[in-house]
Amino acid sequence: MDALAQTILPYILLYKYSALFVITFLASLALPIPAGTLLVASAAFASQGYFNIVVLIGVVIVANIAGDNILFWLARLYGKKVLYRIGFMRKILTSKNFTLIEDSISDRPGFVIFISRFEVIATLTVNLICGLGKVSYRKFMIYETLGAFVDAFFYGMIGYLFGDSWQAVNNLIGNFSILFFLAIALAVAIFWKKIINNLNKKARHREI
């Protein structure tokens, strides 16, 4: 367990569900807090009777949904206004390429939103892209809620079932999370390249 998690965990043990809610909520708003590690640790204490595992997972789900939704709406309401003030970002956001990417994501956002819940950087990135783009709030809410539930249940059960061995299991999951994030980044790069190639083909057809 890293130093930050060791520093925060005593507050969770002292203030219990309220502290866990605040910490999880802040983590979903892009603060660098190891919420997943803290959830696994808290669930391990739940296996010893210190927490109610059902309430624990419920608090985390609500906190994640609240934070994700606020980040989505901040990006939706103010994201482009702020980014337009940055010269090169304005050119990107008004480009045909970005418009096509927005359309592609808004057509099939479900899988991307759901799978991103399992990696913190991917979660924050997708929340921002969905807020900046054309993804409907209804679709975002449905898949975000489903992903938040599965994510919290998965990490909560790991801590609860493995108890004293949770740190070793959590470290193993952390290594897989890095590989998972790299795989997502590669998939996005391939997806981006495919879109650019399609744009170039359309441009050549128009010229002919």
The answer to whether 65 and 148 are in contact (CB under 8 A) is: yes
pLDDT of residue 132: 85
pLDDT along the chain (208 residues), means of 10: 78 92 92 84 88 95 95 89 72 69 71 81 83 87 94 89 63 51 58 57 54
Q: What is the pLDDT of residues 139-175, one digit of tens each?
A: 999 999 999 999 999 889 888 887 666 565 555 455 4
User: Using CB atoms within 10 A of its CB, is residue 64 exposed (0-12), middle (13-18) or buried (19+)?
Assistant: buried
At 137, list the tokens. Answer: 């709030």
Q: Global pTM?
A: 0.76
Residue whose entry in the numeric block shows the structure tokens 């210190």: 50
CA 109 to chain centre: 14
Look-up of token digits 């990696």: 119
The encoded tokens of residue 196 equal: 């650019």
Would you kindly state where each structural domain of the chain is located, as residue ranges?
3-207
